[in-house]
Amino acid sequence: MAQRTRVLPLLIAAAFCTVFFRSVTETTHGTFVAPQIQRMGAAQRAHQLQRVDGAQTVHQHCARLSGGGGAPFRIGAVPAVMHGLPARYGVAAKYKVTLETPEGQQQFECPDDAYILDQAEEDDVELPYSCRAGSCSSCAGKVLSGSIDQSDQAFLDDDQMSEGYCLLCTTYPTSDVTIKTHCEADL
């Protein structure tokens, strides 16, 4: 009898814990989950998939989940964050990047799907950097000619970007481009 009194509370506690954890981890038709959270989970699953030729990019998948571009959004629906990058099917375009550094002019080819800082490092060009995420100004540069996409950065304001400043760690070339480097003090 003494053994039964010890086991019964353990079984009841285990059953309660099982029911509780299932209710927390599983969503049923009666449970409300915000559409934004549902789409976020789908976007995260899409991001985890390996991309092969012909597959959708994460941005394309997000656009599909949020109703596509141009269509009016339903009340409560939140569009995916989209940037104007061209579709990258097959081989990426390569652009000539010219960096005007204190050591002199450096030139290399950079694919349109690689950050300029990453490609510069691969080509043994030393540049200053810190965060590699577009949230500081260590790798700041100024575009002298050409065009870039710096939609991944979060540090520069609109005025600085309109003056031509960019963060090389989150900048893609979109044409042949010339950039003056080591511009952190100018910001």
Decide if 67 contacts 146 (C-beta within 8 A).
no
> What CA–CA distance (Å, rounded) separates 57 from 91?
15
79 confidence band (pLDDT: 50, 70, 90):
very low
> What CA–CA distance (Å, rounded) separates 41 from 35?
10
Stretch 105-126: mean pLDDT: 95
140, pLDDT greater than 80: yes
Backbone angles phi, psi at 161, to 5 degrees: -65, -35
> What CA–CA distance (Å, rounded) separates 71 from 107?
43
Stretch 170-183: mean pLDDT: 96
What percent of the chain has pLDDT above 90? 48
In the chain, residues under CATH classification 3.10.20.30 are: 94-186
Backbone angles phi, psi at 70, to 5 degrees: 85, -30
37-51, 85-99, 101-115, 120-134: least confident range: 37-51
Contacts of 49 (CB under 8 A, 6+ apart): 55
162, pLDDT greater than 50: yes
* pTM (predicted TM-score): 0.53
Stretch 179-187: mean pLDDT: 94
Residue 55 zone, left/alpha/beta (φ > 0; ψ -120 to 50; rest):
beta
Provide the pLDDT for residue 105: 96
**Topology (CATH level 3) of domain 94-186:** Ubiquitin-like (UB roll) (3.10.20)
Contacts of 97 (CB under 8 A, 6+ apart): 107, 108, 109, 110, 116, 119, 120, 173, 176, 177, 178, 179
